[in-house]
Amino acid sequence: MKSVCMYFHVHQPFRVKHYTAFDSGNDHNYFYVNDNESKTNNENVLRKVAQKSYRPTNKKLLELLHRHPEVRFSMSISGTIIEQLEKWDKETLESFKELVKTNRVEIVGETYHHSLAFFYSREEFETQVRMHEEVISRVFNKKPQIFRNTELAYNNDLAYWADKAGYKGILAEGWDPILGWRSPNYMYRPAYTDNIRLLLKNYKLSDDIAFRFSDRNWAEWPLTASKFAHWLNAGEENEQIINLFMDYETFGEHQWEDSGIFEFLNHLPNEFLRREGNSFLTLSEAIEKFEPVDKVDVPNTLTWADTERDLSAWLGNAMQQEAIKAIYSLQDKIYKSEDLALIEDWRKLQTSDHFYYMCTKWFNDGDIHAYFSPYESPYEAFMNFMHVVNDLKFRLVEKGVSL
C-alpha cells in the first residue's frame, strides 16, 4: 500500500525590462515592454508557457480527475501569476479554476509575490501571505491549510511561525543531511512546534520526472509510467507517503511535449493504481491519515535548489546581497508613502526570480546554458534591477518622503 502526494508549483515573475541609469527618474514602468522580441516581455512569456504547459497540463489533469475518481493532488499558484493570467489569459485561469472545482485539488498557501520576505521582514512577509490568501479566496474560493515558502526555503523559525498561524502542514525538501538515516517517505513534525506537520519532498523520485525525464544520457531513459509506478511500489512496505513535488512547468516547458511527458502523466494513475491499496492524497488528506513518526530539526535554511539546497542561488554573491538589502531597507519609507502603485511595484521587485537572475554560479564555468534567465548575464540583471530601485527612491522623494 502506497500513498502518493503530488504537489505542483505554478509561478511566473514580473521580469524587469532593460532599464538604464537614464531611465531612473523618467520611466516608472518597469515590467511592461512593447518589444515583441524581448525575453522580458512578460505577456509573451506567459502566453508561451500557457500554450506549451499550463493549458495542455490542465486539460490532461482534468481528464485524469474525470477518468480516475482516486486521483487528487495539490498545487500552489503565486499571486503574481494569477495577476498575469487575469490580465492576459483569462481562459487559462478558468482552466485552473475547473481543476480546483473538482474539490480534489488542494491549494497551498505562500507569499503573493513569491518573495524571500520571511528572512528580511516578518511584517512584510505576513502581509504578502495575507494578500495571497485573499487572491486565492477571491479566485478559487478556497482557504489554504498548508504552507510552502518561496523556493521551499524552510527552517525551524518558519515552521514555528506557520504553526502559530494555524497551518496544518508545511513543505520542505527531504534532504539527506537533515534526515540522516531517516526516509522522507513518512509524516514528520517540525522541531519546536505543537500541531503542524512537515511533509518532505522525495527529491530522487521527484527529480526523475522534473529534471531527468528527457535526458537521453540518463541510464533510465526512457522513463515510462509503468517503470515509475514500479519504483513507487518498490520502497519499504510500511512507509507512508511519497511526496512528489515539482514545478508545474515541468509538463510541457521543462520537459517538452515531444519527450512524451504528457503520455507519462496520462498513464501514471493507471499504472500506479493497478496495485491494490495504492492511493493518491492531497497534502491535507495525508496529514489526516498519518501520525508523525519523528520530529525534524532544521536550524539552517533549506531550499529545493541546487546541490547546496540553500539560498546561495538567490543571495550567494555580493550583487544579490546589495540588491536585496536595497529593497528591504526601503520598507518603512515605502509604507510611509501610502502610494499604492509604488508599494506594489516595490513588492513585485521582491520576487525571488530577480535575485536568481543575478546568480553567477553557472556563468563561471563557461556553462552559460545552465543560466536560465531572460538576461544576457547576471550583471545585466543586477544593473536593470538597481536602476529600478533608484527610480523607487526618486518616486519616494517626489512624494515628499525623505530618504
Partner 1 sequence: MKILMLGWELPPHNSGGLGVACYKMCKALAEQGVSIQFVLPYEHNQKINFMNVKSADDEAIVSVDNSYGVYDSHSYLIKTHAGAKGHRSLHEQRMVYENGVEKLVESLEFDIIHAHDWITFSGAMKAKVRTGKPLVLHIHATEYDRAAGGQGNPMVRDIEYNAMIMADKIVAVSDITKQIIVREYSIPEDKIEVVHNSIDIADTYCYDCGENDYKYLDAMKRSGYRVVASIGRLTIQKGLINLLEAIKLAVGKNPKILLLIVGSGEQYFELVSKSAELGISENVIFADFQRGKRLRDAFRIADLFVLPSVSEPFGLTALEAIGYGTPSLVTYQSGVKEAVNNFLRVDFWDAKEMANKILSIAEFDSLRDELHENSFKEYKKLSWAKSAGKLIDIYKQYNVGVNA
Near partner 1 by CB under 8 A, which window of 6-14, 19-27, 51-59, 197-205?
19-27
- Minimum distance of partner 1 from residue 375's CB (angstroms): 12
Q: Considering the rule CB under 8 A, would residue 356 count as an interface residue with partner 1?
A: no
Near partner 1 by CB under 8 A, which window of 163-171, 177-185, 193-201, 315-323?
315-323
Q: Considering the rule CB under 8 A, would residue 360 count as an interface residue with partner 1?
A: yes
Near partner 1 by CB under 8 A, which window of 97-105, 142-150, 214-222, 317-325?
317-325
Minimum CB distance to partner 1 smaller for 302 or for 330: 330
**151 catalytic per annotation:** yes
Minimum CB distance to partner 1 smaller for 69 or for 366: 366
Contact pick of 317, 350, 352, 373 for partner 1 (by CB under 8 A): 317
- The three state secondary structure string of the chain is CCEEEEEEEECCCCCCCCCCCCCCCCCCCCCCCCCCCCCCCHHHHHHHHHHHHHHHHHHHHHHHHHHCCCCCEEEEECHHHHHHHHHHCHHHHHHHHHHHHCCCEEEEECCCCCECHHHCCHHHHHHHHHHHHHHHHHHHCCCCCEECCHHHCECHHHHHHHHHCCCCEEEEECCHHHHCCCCCCCCEEECCCCCCEEEEECHHHHHHHHCCCCCCCCCCCCCCHHHHHHHHHCCCCCCCEEEEEEEHHHECCCECHHHCHHHHHHHHHHHHHCCCCCEEECHHHHHHHCCCCEEECCCCCECCCCCCCCCHHHHCCHHHHHHHHHHHCCHHHHHHHCCHHHHHHHHHCCEHHHHHCCCCHHHHCCCHHHCCCCCCCHHHHHHHHHHHHHHHHHHHHHCCCCC
Q: Considering the rule CB under 8 A, would residue 363 count as an interface residue with partner 1?
A: yes
Minimum CB distance to partner 1 smaller for 20 or for 329: 20
How many residues touch partner 1 under the rule CB under 8 A: the total is 21
Q: Considering the rule CB under 8 A, would residue 387 count as an interface residue with partner 1?
A: yes
- Minimum distance of partner 1 from residue 89's CB (angstroms): 33
The contact pattern for partner 1, residues 263-302, with x = CB under 8 A and - = no contact, is ----------------------------------------
Minimum CB distance to partner 1 smaller for 135 or for 386: 386
Contact pick of 11, 269, 382, 396 for partner 1 (by CB under 8 A): 382
Task: List residues binding partner 1 (CB under 8 A).
Answer: 20-22, 317-319, 321-322, 360, 363-364, 366, 368, 376-379, 382-383, 386-387
